[in-house]
Amino acid sequence: MARQSKATRFLRLGKGIKNLREGKRRPMPGIHVDGSISTKPSVPCPPLPEYKVMELVHKWLLSHGCVVDRLNNGAGRLMLNNGQLSQYQVFGIRGGGDWIGWLPNGRHLEIECKKGTGGKLSRVQIKRMKKCRDSNAVYLVIHGVPELENKLLPILENLS
| Range in 22-26, 31-35, 121-125, 126-130 the model is least confident about | 22-26
Residue 129 forms part of a structural domain: yes
DSSP-assigned beta bridge partners for residue 28: 31
* Range among 23-27, 86-90, 92-96 rated most confident: 92-96
Residue 108 DSSP one-character state:
E
For the chain, what is the total number of helices (H) and then of strands (E)? 4, 8
- C-beta separation of 92 from 71 below 8 A: yes
pLDDT tens digits along 147-158? 999 999 999 998
User: Is residue 128 one of the residues assigned to a domain?
Assistant: yes
Alpha-carbon distances of 93 from 4, 53, 67, 72, 129, rounded to whole Å? 39, 21, 18, 8, 12
Among 34-43, 47-56, 123-132, 133-142, which is the least confidently predicted range?
34-43
- Using one digit for the tens of pLDDT, what is the confidence trace for 12-53? 777 777 777 777 666 566 677 777 888 999 999 999 999 999
Residue 2 is assigned to a structural domain of this protein: no
pLDDT, residue 66, reads 96
In this structure, is residue 130 part of a structural domain?
yes
What range does the domain containing 115 cover?
29-157
Domains identified in the chain, total number: 1
Report how far apart the first and last C-alpha atoms of the chain are (Å, whole number): 43
Q: Is residue 50 part of a domain?
A: yes
Dihedral (CA of 115, 121, 127, 131) sign? positive
pLDDT (mean) for 123-136: 94
- Residue 100 belongs to domain with CATH number: 3.40.1350.10
pTM for the whole structure: 0.76
Q: Please give the single-letter amino acid code of residue 98.
A: D
Quick check: is 10 in a domain? no
On whether residue 17 sits in a domain, the answer given is no
**In this structure, is residue 120 part of a structural domain?**
yes
